[in-house]
Structure 1
Amino acid sequence: MSTTPPRTDPLWALIPALSAHRGALIWTGLVGLANNLALVFLAVAGSYTVTLALVEHRLAEPGWWITAASAVLLRAVLTWHEMDISHSIAYRVLAALRMALFDGFARGVPSRSPDQHTGRLAATAMGETEKLEFFYAHTLTQLAGAAVLLIGALLALGGLGPTLAVGFALGCAALVAFSLPLLRKNARLGERIQRAKSDQSALVVDVLSGTREILSFDLRDRVGEQLSASTRRIVELERRLRVRESAAASIRELCTLAILIVVFVLAWNQPGLERVWIPAVIAGTLTVLAPLTEAVAVLTQLQPHRASAATVVAGISLPTEGPVERAIEGSAERSTERPIVESSERPAEYPSPGSTRRGSSMRMPAGPLGLELNAVEFSYAPDAPALAPTWLTIAAGEHIGIAGRSGSGKTTLARLLARLWEPDRGSIHLTAETGAHYDLRDLDLSGYRSHVGLVEQDATIFHGSLWDNLRLADPTLTEDTALHTLPRAGLTLDPGRWPAGVHTELGEAGSGISGGERARIALARALVRRPRILILDETTASLDARSESSLLDALEALRGETTVITISHRPSTLARCDRVVQLPALHREPGPRG
């Protein structure tokens, strides 16, 4: 029997990501607590001295005035220091959360999961982390300070009389008890608001990325209605939440008044307590109740923060894309099939004599590199196969073409070879000129990727200049090296077309360049890293004959020094390859693009 581990509150689950700033957070809490204690003392001292003057017509001892003046100065210093360090720690928390998020995205993106959306990822990285920075930098320490003040108040009132402490404790318990139902209701409503905002972020990203299609199909009115409807839904949900929060605030005020009345009555009837101290007890109690009721209010409004934290935790915890956990009947029988046959001989059994052992993070071998695939399979889900069992040998320096019908797994194969994904079954080995085989899973991931270039059909051109895009591949790139690399990718910087040379702006998503220029820039960006394996996935699909020929000429110049894997459905592109391997069609339900 399996057991499900207890669910961890996402707000607490993020604490380890902030461990480097734990000392600063604790110091912020201590400063805030000292500030509140100084305020409590001022309230008690002020009430006592005023009452003493009005009731007994005498001034308090000089020590009270000196201590009160010192408390005023201390509060001024602490308030300034608390504001200063809380802003500083807020920015550090924000940076820590975003760095942890980007680490998670680097592991888990691209994902085979169809529900992953860049709009939600962007909302998480920008909006959700900004909501949480104030919580961890200020609210969390505020809650801890309120708890300490509550304990201190109970001890102080207990010193005056046990009944005072019991009455105060019962009043605080009633305050929490009356707030709990609203806490649960607000939590459910907050979850609905968070989902609605997440859905709207995804819709906005889709609208912005599909502006041309929206205009060409005249969908502006329909899109406007969708955005308006989502906005109205969010506004209505937030209105209902505000109404409930107002009701909760009224309940807290009534509970506070009731606690003060109880404390007053108990203090009035407390034997041995001078009447001159009763206003001071009430003032001190009221001062303690202020952060306590504020903490209760925060607890009833935590759901948006908890939902944001859950989203951030999910992003931080994205797993490295690995095999789909599933049980496929007959896998042993199917593993003997050979959909791709490139010779009459069956591949050698694995592991080969030169294979490396699993579990290490080995460096890349020197010299030319080849690849061998043995019964490699991949699925987007247990019932959605994307690549049939595949055997393939690619020699070092070879220019091989991969063809196949749509859905046969060409793009999937490209991403497997680039180690964006891991095979569900089978293995991929890197072959060195010595004849040794290295399982890709044994090699250092970043080291492997630094020697592999992947150029996809829809390669992203980032906002900025040509120089900015090239330097993404190598931040140390010099302008001379860039000017030498561009012709190798078939791109000549004609002054009329490129007035600022490599510093010419490309526009958002490359809106200022043609499809052929986009493909050549993507290829040049890959060549900047001097890849030993270059994978082209339908790079020539949208090019005209002249642009295609220019790009293929650039690839010819790489022959021998770079292993080139060209995935294409165009005969003219595949004709330039040393040989072509055909992927068989898969018979499956429609799923993600393969």
Structure 2
Amino acid sequence: MTTQSRPTTPTAPDRGALRALLPALAEHRAMTARTCAAALLEQGALVALLTSAAHAVGTAVIEAEAPSTGTVAALAALVLLRTLMTWREMDLSHDLAYRVLAALRVRVFDGLARSAPARVAGRRSGDLAATAMADVEALEFFYAHTTAQLLAAGTVFTGGAVVLAAVEPWLLAAVLPTAALLTAAPFAQARGRAAHGARTRAALATLSADTVETVDGLRELLAFGALPARRRRLADHGRRLGDAQRAEATAEAAAAALRDLLIVAAVLGVVATAAHSVTSGRLHGAWAPAAMALALAVLGPVAEAARSLSQAVSLRAAAARVGAAVKAPALAPPPTAPRTLPPGPLGVRLHRVRFDYGGAAVLDGVDLTVPAGQTLALVGASGAGKSTCAHLLARFWDPAEGTAQLLPATGDPVDLRDVDDAELRRAVALVGQETPLFHGTLAENLRLTAPDADDDLLVETARRCGVDRIAPMDAVIGERGATLSGGQRARIALARALLAQPRVLILDESTAHLDNTGDAELAAALHHPGRTTVVIAHRRATIRRADRIAVLEAGRVTEEGTWEELTARPGSALHRTLARR
């Protein structure tokens, strides 16, 4: 449960947030080119159709001459071309957009995975989901309705301006100011629109995060009678989102009204200019409607492009959040020259390790060695740095100083930073305090660590960990294992780790939910002659079974030895730690 905090006004994101996502189109150059060509033909066909139709009307009225068969056929062909290109442009632009979004989602997930758990820690799952799904989905408008339309509008207006300059330069002068203002308006309103968009995205992310937390904690909320307060909180977040969306819609309505006003002014200017040109003899009466239609038709794509650009600006916040996820730095970067781990048992070592989370040091000069095949119990008060040691040995982070190493039976130690991630995951398995289970069968959840494990190994591992007593292998496990007890989830987590047959196993209080009998059963299942095990635990029986015990205090190993050695010392660090339990 999170405490309610005072909402802050999000700042407008960087101007380059949308531009930074344009390179995603480079992977689809051919489709992007086809989309731009279809948009150009669609807009060009409309301008040609309006101009030709206006000329036919002008000729019929002024010269009493009916359109020829060729003219009618040309108009029909332009109608057909416009229809086909409108469909084709919509089909291509959305196909392109969804292909780009599909790749972008993968890059967002890759970024989150690359920077996890440090970047993910402290962020709410609903907020992460909003970035991975809602923010990416919002960019569909940018990719489907902006890039090709802007290029086509610019090309059509340029071509039309050249024709107008040749036919009647004063008509061009009448539409140029409007075109310039239509083009400049989205940029002039960009800061405000971006701020509105940032407020909407922030409100949506907050509502998403609170909704996910409410669903996850529904039993606790019901048990403690906190559901009405939670509903009021969700309603408050919903109102804030509604306010933000209304403000954004109001801004768009004002921008649309301004565009309409500019178009009306352009119409009046074109009509007055055309009338003056006709009366002064510079423009033939039969051509006046065509010239007017051309002048106004080339403004249509500019106005539509301005509308698209104005709406795209409000997506800066979504683009900034997506861009930040895509470019998230790796907290454990891949090695430039990976080393291959030798076969056989592996020990582990933390050598003069210092680590912090951006503040005071959590680990300050830790030296800890676990020879291959031994079991070490890591003991200490809450906050002493035990889980941090586990995460460093699994290389979720890299030490700020010192090294985390694997110790082959023969040969030199291997720095974890020199091991390819896939090989490291096969060699080292971490079972944490939480047990993430996914919606699917029990067998599917177990096979997460070893998809290719044969059925006999799966059944034997499940039996040794007591998972076979929980449910059949084809039974569906609810999301996050909501229908299972903490002890059952712990058994599944341990079986899942053992199925990968790791050479180093790290247990971060993973048996805390088990009773003494269950803890003893799993201790027998975990025993393997060649496996190195690091156990973070508080239960005396678990600690006593270890070959050696290390006591962590204030970020340092202050005591190390066997159970008999450490308990024989009055006032030892182990005694102090156990006395706190």
Structure 2 residue aligned with 1:378: 355
Q: Which amino acid aligns with 1:279?
A: P
Note if contact 1:25-1:137 (Cα within 8 Å) is conserved in structure 2.
no
CA distance in 1, matches of 2:160, 2:340: 62
Structure 2 residue aligned with 1:568: 537
Structure 2 residue aligned with 1:277: 287
Q: What is the CA distance between 1:180 and its match in structure 2?
A: 4.7
CA distance in 1, matches of 2:125, 2:409: 41
Note if contact 1:32-1:145 (Cα within 8 Å) is conserved in structure 2.
yes
- Output one character per residue of 1:16-58: Cα deviation in whole Å (capped at 9) or x when no partner: 3343123212211211111111111111111111221122111
Match of 1:318 among 325, 328, 335: 328
Structure 2 residue aligned with 1:143: 150
Q: What is the CA distance between 1:563 and its match in structure 2?
A: 1.3
- Is residue 498 of structure 2 the alignment partner of residue 491 of structure 1? no
Q: Secondary structure at the match of 1:565?
A: strand
CA distance in 2, matches of 1:365, 1:151: 67
Structure 2 residue aligned with 1:531: 502
CA-atom RMSD in angstroms: 2.2
Structure 2 residue aligned with 1:291: 301
- Paired-residue identity, %: 40
- Which 5+ residue runs of structure 2 have no aligned equivalent? 1-12, 557-581
Q: Which amino acid aligns with 1:528?
A: L
Q: Which amino acid aligns with 1:311?
A: R
Change in Cα spacing, 1:40 to 1:193, as seen in structure 2 (3 Å) is same
Match of 1:582 among 551, 565, 571: 551
Structure 2 residue aligned with 1:365: 342
- Output one character per residue of 1:270-325: Cα deviation in whole Å (capped at 9) or x when no partner: 453212112112222333222221221222222432111111111111111259xx
CA distance in 2, matches of 1:307, 1:492: 46
CA distance in 2, matches of 1:553, 1:422: 32
CA distance in 2, matches of 1:530, 1:508: 26
CA distance in 2, matches of 1:563, 1:445: 19
Match of 2:400 among 424, 434, 437: 424
CA distance in 2, matches of 1:363, 1:10: 40
Q: Which amino acid aligns with 1:66?
A: A
CA distance in 1, matches of 2:120, 2:457: 39
Structure 2 residue aligned with 1:88: 95
Q: Secondary structure at the match of 1:34?
A: helix
CA distance in 1, matches of 2:284, 2:76: 25
Change in Cα spacing, 1:468 to 1:77, as seen in structure 2 (3 Å) is same
Note if contact 1:465-1:506 (Cα within 8 Å) is conserved in structure 2.
yes
Structure 1 residue aligned with 2:382: 406
Q: What is the CA distance between 1:178 and its match in structure 2?
A: 5.1
Q: Secondary structure at the match of 1:474?
A: coil
Note if contact 1:194-1:304 (Cα within 8 Å) is conserved in structure 2.
no
Q: What is the CA distance between 1:359 and its match in structure 2?
A: 4.3
Structure 2 residue aligned with 1:340: none
Structure 2 residue aligned with 1:542: 513
CA distance in 1, matches of 2:221, 2:195: 35
Q: What is the CA distance between 1:181 and its match in structure 2?
A: 4.5
Q: Secondary structure at the match of 2:200?
A: helix
- Output one character per residue of 1:390-449: Cα deviation in whole Å (capped at 9) or x when no partner: 111111121111111100111111111111111111111222222212211111122212
What are the within-5 Å matches in structure 2 for residues 101-112 of structure 1? 101-111=108-118
CA distance in 1, matches of 2:408, 2:121: 36
CA distance in 1, matches of 2:162, 2:304: 21
Structure 1 residue aligned with 2:273: 266
CA distance in 2, matches of 1:293, 1:89: 23
Q: What is the CA distance between 1:387 and its match in structure 2?
A: 1.8
- Output one character per residue of 1:182-225: Cα deviation in whole Å (capped at 9) or x when no partner: 44322222222221212222222222222222222211121111
Q: What is the CA distance between 1:586 and its match in structure 2?
A: 4.9
Note if contact 1:364-1:444 (Cα within 8 Å) is conserved in structure 2.
no
- Output one character per residue of 1:154-201: Cα deviation in whole Å (capped at 9) or x when no partner: 222112233332332222123345555444322222222221212222
Q: Secondary structure at the match of 1:419?
A: coil
Match of 1:435 among 411, 430, 433: 411
Q: What is the CA distance between 1:524 and its match in structure 2?
A: 1.2
What are the within-5 Å matches in structure 2 for residues 100-249 of structure 1? 100-111=107-118, 115-177=122-184, 180-249=187-256
Structure 1 residue aligned with 2:391: 415
Work out the number of aligned pairs and report it.
540
Change in Cα spacing, 1:87 to 1:247, as seen in structure 2 (3 Å) is closer
Q: What is the CA distance between 1:7 and its match in structure 2?
A: 5.7
Q: Secondary structure at the match of 2:340?
A: coil
- Which 5+ residue runs of structure 1 have no aligned equivalent? 1-5, 324-357, 588-594
Task: State the TM-score, normalizing by the size of structure 2.
Answer: 0.88
Q: What is the CA distance between 1:371 and its match in structure 2?
A: 1.6
Q: What is the CA distance between 1:492 and its match in structure 2?
A: 4.7
Task: State the TM-score, normalizing by the size of structure 1.
Answer: 0.86
CA distance in 1, matches of 2:152, 2:89: 13
Q: Which amino acid aligns with 2:318?
A: S
Change in Cα spacing, 1:520 to 1:492, as seen in structure 2 (3 Å) is closer
CA distance in 2, matches of 1:103, 1:508: 22
CA distance in 2, matches of 1:284, 1:112: 55
CA distance in 1, matches of 2:133, 2:405: 39
Q: Secondary structure at the match of 1:536?
A: strand
Change in Cα spacing, 1:517 to 1:390, as seen in structure 2 (3 Å) is same
Q: What is the CA distance between 1:146 and its match in structure 2?
A: 1.7
